[in-house]
Amino acid sequence: MTRKVFVVHYSEIGLKGANRVFFERKLMENINSKIKSLGGSAKRRSGRILVELKDDSNINAIREALRTTPGIKYFALAEIVPLDLDKIAETCLLVLKDKEFKSFKVSTSRSNKNFPYNSMEVNRIVGEKIVKSTGKRVNLTQPDVVVHIEICEKEAYVYTERVDGIGGLPVSVSGKVISLLSGGIDSPVAAFLLMKRGCKVVFVHFFNQTIHSREVRRKIEEIVKVLAKYQDRSKLYMVDFGDAQREIIKLVPAKYRMIIYRRFMMRIACEIARKEGAKALVTGDNVAQVASQTLDNLAVIYEASRLPVLTPLAGFDKEETINLARKIGTYEISIRPYPDCCSLMIAKHPETRSKLDTVIKIENIMNTEDLVEKALKNTEILIIDPREKTQKSL
């Protein structure tokens, strides 16, 4: 009877000293919060994280949890072997037993420098045993299968299948950001990219009460639920923006509506950021993709934010964004038609070269602070847990 463990590796570039311990701890905590109900338990050992399993652990669900955790470069379900070269070789033969292959290679990494053989020697000795016992040949450049051996302080790990993680940094090592989440394709991808850079993302969606509100809400909740797979429990602010929208329609010339509307979003998101202790906003803006996204307009829109506005899709082609949306699982939900509350704001001939002083003059006829306050009052906060069927309101 063999014992198995998930061996988890992260990218170590740029990680030194205290920074590294902080990073490892966060990654371990993030993994644990996802897998504790699945019968797994993550520990830090010899520059890697080990996920220990029990007889009744849900291996497939744990694999999926690791596949969607930022900060992991790759991982593998490995056999645990005592520090004994004969036993290591035996286990290599065992993991190759049901495999179809003509050629192979042994790849050893040794963090335990007290082990009496170095990596090259282990590769050679175990390789020879495999040739002798299976008759297969060694191919160092293009093997059909690679047998990995990791020799650590207390034991060794043997496996053949490496699963790529999503890379990046563990969620929360970089702090918190506020994602302005529409029901479109772009903003969910932007939020994902920031999670991948170690940010905990809090979501904000602006809507107005219409007969379609329930449908809109369901769509936004579904998108957040998919994104919550990557960062775990997530907060969603649903901001009813009807009052500000009505004021804008009443007082603002059509071609400026979208810009002023989006400046309101910035102000409200900044207030939410203050409450949450978030350091930046994130949008799905992409330079020059739609009328509101000319550089002139983005400059005027972002001027209303006291915080930096991060736009990770700025340099993406639409196709790149779509591919990523498919990969992370939001695309199919995003393309579902739904009544976007912005559609009321779309002018036939929108301003593409807005000027800040003109926009501020128009805003001066509205009671901006009041409208921001009203919208904040008309806000519902939801906690979305990727494991639960129904959402809770705070």
Closest separation in Å from C-beta 247 to Mg ion: 22
Interface with ligand ATP, residue 379, by CB under 6 A: no
Question: CA 254, CA 266: separation in Å to the nearest integer?
Answer: 20
Stretch that binds ligand ATP, among 138-146, 148-156, 283-291, 368-376 (CB under 6 A): 283-291
Chain-centroid distance, C-alpha 333: 17
C-alpha to C-alpha distances, 5 to 46, 49, 52, 54, nearest whole angstrom = 14, 10, 5, 9
Query: Which of residues 285, 309, 324, 354 is near ligand ATP by CB under 6 A?
Result: 285
Work out the number of other CB atoms within 10 angstroms of the CB of residue 158: 29
Q: How many CB atoms lie within 10 A of CB 137?
A: 13
- Contact indicator for 378, 294 with CB cutoff of 8 Å: no
Strand partners, 325: none
**Residue 350 makes contact with Mg ion by CB under 5 A:** no
Number of residues that bind ligand ATP (CB under 6 A): 20
Single out the segment in contact with ligand ATP by CB under 6 A; choices: 31-39, 156-164, 281-289, 351-359.
Answer: 281-289
Three-state DSSP class for residue 348: coil
- 226 touches ligand ATP by CB under 6 A: no
* Nearest residue to 318 (alpha-carbon basis) of 294, 353, 288, 348: 288
* Residue 391 DSSP class: P
246 neighbors 380 (Cβ within 8 angstroms): no
Residues 185-214 that bind ligand ATP (CB under 6 A): 185-187, 204-206
Stretch that binds ligand ATP, among 29-37, 101-109, 141-149, 174-182 (CB under 6 A): 174-182
Give the one residue of 15, 290, 307, 360 binding ligand ATP; rule: CB under 6 A.
290
Alpha-carbon distance 193 to 71, whole Å?
12
Q: Quick one: how far is CA 326 from the chain centroid?
A: 13
Give dist(CA 44, CA 29) in Å, integer: 10
227 binds ligand ATP, rule: CB under 6 A = no
- Should residue 174 be labelled a site residue for ligand ATP when binding is judged by CB under 6 A? no
Nearest residue to 372 (alpha-carbon basis) of 273, 237, 265, 250: 265
The nearest distance, CB 184 to Mg ion, in angstroms, is 3
Q: Is 180 among the residues that bind ligand ATP (CB under 6 A)?
A: yes
> CA 365, CA 360: separation in Å to the nearest integer?
9
What residues from 156 to 185 belong to the interface with Mg ion (CB under 5 A)?
182, 184
Distances (CA, A) of 372 to 46, 238, 242, 272, 342: 51, 14, 11, 11, 17
Q: Are 163 and 74 in contact (CB under 8 A)?
A: yes
Shortest distance (Å) from residue 257 CB to Mg ion: 15
Show the site string, 10-29: x = touches ligand ATP by CB under 6 A, - = not. --------------------
Q: In the complex with ligand ATP, which residue's Cβ is closer, 123 or 294?
A: 294
Helix (H, G, I), strand (E, B) or coil at 174: coil
Q: CB of 285: closest distance to Mg ion in angstroms?
A: 10
Q: Is 330 in the site for Mg ion (CB under 5 A)?
A: no
Binding mask 183-202 for Mg ion (x = CB under 5 A): -x------------------
251-280 footprint of ligand ATP as x/- string (CB under 6 A)? --------------x---------------
Considering only 53-61, 119-127, 221-229, 286-294, which stretch makes contact with ligand ATP by CB under 6 A?
A: 286-294
Ranges within 317-376 binding ligand ATP (CB under 6 A): 341-342
Among the listed residues 292, 294, 305, 330, the single contact to ligand ATP using CB under 6 A: 292
Shortest Å, Cβ 337 to Mg ion: 12
What residues are paired with 237 via a beta bridge?
A: 204, 381
Q: Which residues in this chain contact Mg ion in the complex, by CB under 5 A?
A: 182, 184
Q: Which residues in this chain contact ligand ATP in the complex, by CB under 6 A?
A: 180-182, 184-187, 204-206, 265, 283-286, 289-290, 292, 341-342
